[in-house]
């Protein structure tokens, strides 16, 4: 089975999509390739997201990831929009779904912990569906 390319996309590519990329690589790199992107970029990844992922998983997102535009991504098999509450970016793909996650930015540590937990749950579900053939 070919590993599908999964893109986690939101407008600014600085928080939720970056966390999903990092956790996708950490936990499911054997099943799929994880990417993130947006229609706009930020100078740097959300610093609260960087701190929480580093504390919880010992991953330094700033060492391996950066805010990038969707046109910098490879061809995508599975597109996950994070819950943009605006017109979410579009990319051609075989499968698309929206995870409907609220942006935890400026809401404190507990909001990040909750969002990270939801991302973990959704990644586990996605992984089981990919193992069953989604994206191929």
Block means of pLDDT (10 residues each) for the chain, 136 residues, are 91 94 98 94 95 97 95 95 72 92 93 97 97 86
Contact 15, 46 (CB under 8 A): yes
> 58 lies in a domain?
yes
Closest to 35 (Cα-Cα) out of 83, 68, 84, 2: 68
**What pLDDT, on the 0 to 100 scale, is given for residue 88?**
66
Quick check: 38 and 13 in contact, CB under 8 A?
Answer: yes
Instruction: Give the range of the structural domain holding residue 51, as residue numbers without chain letter.
Output: 5-131
Number of structural domains found in the chain: 1
pTM: 0.95
pLDDT of residue 136: 73
136 falls within a domain: no
Check residue 85 and give its pLDDT. Answer: 64
| Residue-level pLDDT at 1 | 66
Residue 79 included in any domain: yes
| Residue at 87 is within a domain | yes
- What is the reported pLDDT for 61? 97
CATH number of the domain encompassing residue 53: 3.40.50.2300
Residue 83 and residue 10 in contact, taking contact as beta carbons nearer than 8 Å:
yes
| Residue 114 maps to a domain | yes
Please report the pLDDT score of residue 135 as a whole number.
Answer: 75
Residue-level pLDDT at 89 = 63
């Amino acid at each position: 089975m070919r590993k599908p390319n999964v893109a986690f996309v939101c407008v600014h590519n600085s928080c939720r999509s970056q966390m999903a990329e990092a956790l996708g690589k950490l936990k499911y790199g054997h099943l799929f390739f994880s990417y993130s992107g947006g229609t706009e970029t930020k100078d740097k990844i959300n610093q609260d997201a960087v701190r929480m992922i580093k504390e919880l998983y010992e991953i330094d997102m700033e060492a391996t990831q950066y805010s990038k535009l969707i046109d910098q991504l490879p061809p995508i098999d599975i597109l996950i929009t994070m819950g943009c509450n605006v017109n979410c970016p579009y990319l051609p793909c075989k499968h698309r779904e929206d995870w409907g996650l609220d942006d935890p930015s400026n809401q404190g540590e507990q909001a990040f912990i909750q969002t990270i937990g939801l991302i973990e749950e959704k990644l586990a579900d996605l992984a089981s569906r990919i193992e069953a053939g989604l994206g191929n």
